[in-house]
Amino acid sequence: MYTIKTLDLHFQKEGHTIASFLISDQNHRVLVETGPESTWPQLVSELRKHQLSPGDIDAVLLTHIHFDHAGAAWRLAAAGAKIYVHPLGLPHLASPEKLWRSAAKIYGEANMGKLWGNMYPIDNQNLIPTADLKAVAIGKMTFIPLHTPGHAVHHVAWKLGKNIFTGDVAGVKINDGPVVPPCPPPDVHLEDWRESMDKILAQKPDKLYLTHYGMVTNPAQHFEQLKVLLNDWAEWMKIRFQEEIPEEIIIQEFTSYTGNQMADCGANQSLRQLYELANPSWMSVSGLLRYWKLKKLGII
Ligand SMILES: [Zn+2]
């Protein structure tokens, strides 16, 4: 048998924003997600609580290569872990310069260190590409990678028994707040995302483990709510896109629109701030506008 522990990485010193999951059987230890490198000291201290050090981790299963999920993978690889990642994400971990540059464009070069820390290349011999549904056995534990594009084209959800580690494809849900869809650029794709949600539901999981943040025990209802809100945000954005409203204005409007939605669900200001840390509103504006633009151009 195995155990699953949620490690709170305290992103930007706030709890319940980014998780890493430690799955152990008697002889093997696996991490799903590493968090960004900026939270590496916190990850090390969480491992220590379980009498572990980074060198004890056999494998890291990544859901995708965004910094908040995979930024510290190179540190685990340097300590000897095998890193499992979607084949489309793999080259960016072997040579992260392009990934870093495009993130610096989005976040601003000056903010990169504080937000994400460092990122160094991972040796190819430590990187293992996933194949959809092809089991990965680690000790007696069998993980099934479910290729689940929509949030990112290279997204993988990981199934273990009746549990599924969903990365960002099951959205963001913090504490007793609502579930919302993180829609960053460059590859949000609504149709793919809907299909991916159904693909996960078809596995009939009992529990979902969200990187932002923690365990969900009602998967069907959870995805139902996520589908409604994904649709709602996308249609809201489509209207602004068609009216060619400048992005800065849309960001202001969208931040207040989603703020009101959160308030309607009973979320207070401090919970709202956790959501903005895990899933900034401005980023979803950028991602959804890009989706509608590509759609209009017939590229997707
Ligand atoms: Zn994320």
pLDDT digits (tens, 9 = 90+) for 169-192: 999 999 999 999 999 999 999 999
- Looking at residue 151, its pLDDT comes to 98
User: pLDDT truncated to tens, each residue of the chain (300 aa)?
Assistant: 999 999 999 999 999 999 999 999 999 999 999 999 999 999 999 999 999 999 999 999 999 999 999 999 999 999 999 999 999 999 999 999 999 999 998 899 999 999 999 999 999 999 999 999 999 999 999 999 999 999 999 999 999 999 999 999 999 999 999 999 999 999 999 999 999 999 999 999 999 999 999 999 999 999 999 999 999 999 999 999 999 999 999 999 999 999 999 999 999 999 999 999 999 999 999 999 999 999 999 999
Helix%, strand%, coil% for the chain, nearest 5: 45, 20, 35
Is the peptide bond preceding residue 186 cis, with omega within 30 degrees of 0? yes
State in Å: Cα 279 to ligand 1 middle: 7
- Looking at residue 230, its pLDDT comes to 98
- Looking at residue 143, its pLDDT comes to 98
Q: For residue 56, which of 104, 107, 98, 22 has the smallest C-alpha distance?
A: 22
Rounded Cα gap, residues 90 and 95, in angstroms: 9
State in Å: Cα 40 to ligand 1 middle: 16
Distances (CA, A) of 265 to 143, 177, 258, 271: 35, 7, 11, 11
State in Å: Cα 278 to ligand 1 middle: 7
Q: Residue 117 in contact with residue 70, Cβ under 8 Å?
A: no
Q: Residue 47 in contact with residue 81, Cβ under 8 Å?
A: no
Structure tokens at 151: 């949030």
Q: How far is CA 241 from the centre of its chain?
A: 26
Structure tokens at 126: 């430590």
Read out DSSP for 187-215? T--HHHHHHHHHHHHTT--SEEEETTTEE
Rounded Cα gap, residues 251 and 282, in angstroms: 5
State in Å: Cα 168 to ligand 1 middle: 5
State in Å: Cα 298 to ligand 1 middle: 28
Rounded Cα gap, residues 153 and 168, in angstroms: 12
State in Å: Cα 34 to ligand 1 middle: 11
Q: Does domain 3-223 have CATH number 3.60.15.10?
A: yes
State in Å: Cα 155 to ligand 1 middle: 11
- Looking at residue 106, its pLDDT comes to 87
Structure tokens at 82: 């095998």
Rounded Cα gap, residues 83 and 196, in angstroms: 23
Number of residues in the chain: 300
Rounded Cα gap, residues 207 and 218, in angstroms: 7
Order of strands across the sheet that contains 156-160: 136-138, 141-147, 156-160, 163-167, 207-210, 214-216
| Structure letter (DSSP) for residue 25 | -
Question: Mean pLDDT of all residues in the chain?
Answer: 97
State in Å: Cα 69 to ligand 1 middle: 6
As beta bridge partners, residue 3 has 24
Q: Residue 166 in contact with residue 200, Cβ under 8 Å?
A: yes
Beta strands in the chain (DSSP E): 3-8, 19-24, 29-32, 59-61, 82-85, 127-129, 136-138, 141-147, 156-160, 163-167, 207-210, 214-216
Q: How far is CA 41 from the centre of its chain?
A: 20
Kindly report the backbone phi and psi dihedral angles of residue 61, in degrees, each rounded to the nearest multiple of 5, phi listed first.
-105, 115
Residues with CB under 5 A from ligand 1 (ion): 68, 168
